[in-house]
A and B are shown apart, each in its own frame.
Chain A
Amino acid sequence: MRCDLRNPNEPIAPGSSQFVSAASLRERLDWFNKLRWGAAVGVLVVVLIAGVGLKAPIEVRGLLLTGVMLLLLNTVYVLRGRRFKAVDIAIELRLVKVQMVCDLVALTVLLNLSGGVENPLLFLYVIHVIIASLLFKGREIFQIAWLAIFLFTAEVFGEYFGLLPHHHLPTAGEVAHELSFILMTLGSFWLVILFCAYVGARIMTHNRAIKDELVVHQGVLLAEDRAKTDFFRFVTHEIKSPVNTAQSGVETALELGGETMAPSVRDVLDRAVSRLKQATKIVQDLADLTRGGILKEENLTEVDFNDLVATTVDNQRDLAARSRLELNVLLPDPPVLLTTIRTMAETIVANLVNNAIRYSREGGRVSVRLVDTGKRARLVVEDEGIGIEENEQDLIFDEFYRSTAAREASNLGTGLGLPIVRKFVEELGGTIEVESRAGHGSTFTVALPRKSRKRRS
Chain B
Amino acid sequence: MAEKTILVIDDDIDLVEIIRVTLENQGFKVIDAQSGERGLAMAREQNPDLILLDVMMGKVDEGFQVAYELRSDEVTADVPILMLTAVTDQTGFDFDPAKDKDFLPVNEFLEKPISPRNLVDMVRKHLPTSV
Using CB atoms and an 8 Å cutoff, list the residues of chain A in contact with chain B: 233, 236-237, 240-241, 243-245, 247-249, 251-252, 255-256, 276, 280, 283-284, 286-287
In the assembled complex, the Cα of A241 lies from the Cα of B86 at a distance in Å of 8
Name the residue of chain B whose CB is nearest to the CB of A255: B116
Most chain B CB atoms below 10 A, which of A233, A236, A240, A244: A244
Contact A247 B113, beta carbon cutoff 8 Å? yes
Contact B113 A256, beta carbon cutoff 8 Å? no
Using CB atoms and an 8 Å cutoff, list the residues of chain B in contact with chain A: 12, 14-15, 18-19, 21-22, 25, 86-88, 90, 112-117
Name the residue of chain A whose CB is nearest to the CB of B117: A255
Q: Which residues does chain B contribute within 8 Å of A233, judged by CB atoms?
A: 90
CB distance from A258 to the nearest CB of B (A): 11
Q: Which residues does chain A contribute within 8 Å of B86, judged by CB atoms?
A: 240-241, 244
Q: Which of B15, B22, B88, B114 contacts A256 (CB 8 A)?
A: B22
In the assembled complex, the Cα of A54 lies from the Cα of B25 at a distance in Å of 111
Name the residue of chain A whose CB is nearest to the CB of B56: A241
Contact B116 A283, beta carbon cutoff 8 Å? no
Contact B112 A244, beta carbon cutoff 8 Å? yes
Q: Which residues does chain B contribute within 8 Å of A245, judged by CB atoms?
A: 12, 14-15, 18, 112-113
CB distance from A288 to the nearest CB of B (A): 9
In the assembled complex, the Cα of A156 lies from the Cα of B32 at a distance in Å of 101
CB distance from A330 to the nearest CB of B (A): 31
Contact B112 A249, beta carbon cutoff 8 Å? no
Q: Which residues does chain A contribute within 8 Å of B21, judged by CB atoms?
A: 252, 256
CB distance from B94 to the nearest CB of A (A): 10
Q: Which of B14, B25, B87, B115 contacts A251 (CB 8 A)?
A: B115
Task: Pick 8 A–B contacts, CB within 8 A, sort by A.
Answer: A245-B15, A248-B113, A248-B116, A249-B18, A252-B22, A255-B22, A255-B117, A283-B88
Q: Which residues does chain B contribute within 8 Å of A241, judged by CB atoms?
A: 12, 86, 112
In the assembled complex, the Cα of A188 lies from the Cα of B22 at a distance in Å of 97
In the assembled complex, the Cα of A237 lies from the Cα of B87 at a distance in Å of 11
Name the residue of chain B whose CB is nearest to the CB of A283: B88
Q: Which residues does chain A contribute within 8 Å of B112, judged by CB atoms?
A: 240-241, 244-245, 248
Q: Which residues does chain B contribute within 8 Å of A276, judged by CB atoms?
A: 113
Q: Which residues does chain B contribute within 8 Å of A251, judged by CB atoms?
A: 113, 115-116
Contact B22 A249, beta carbon cutoff 8 Å? no
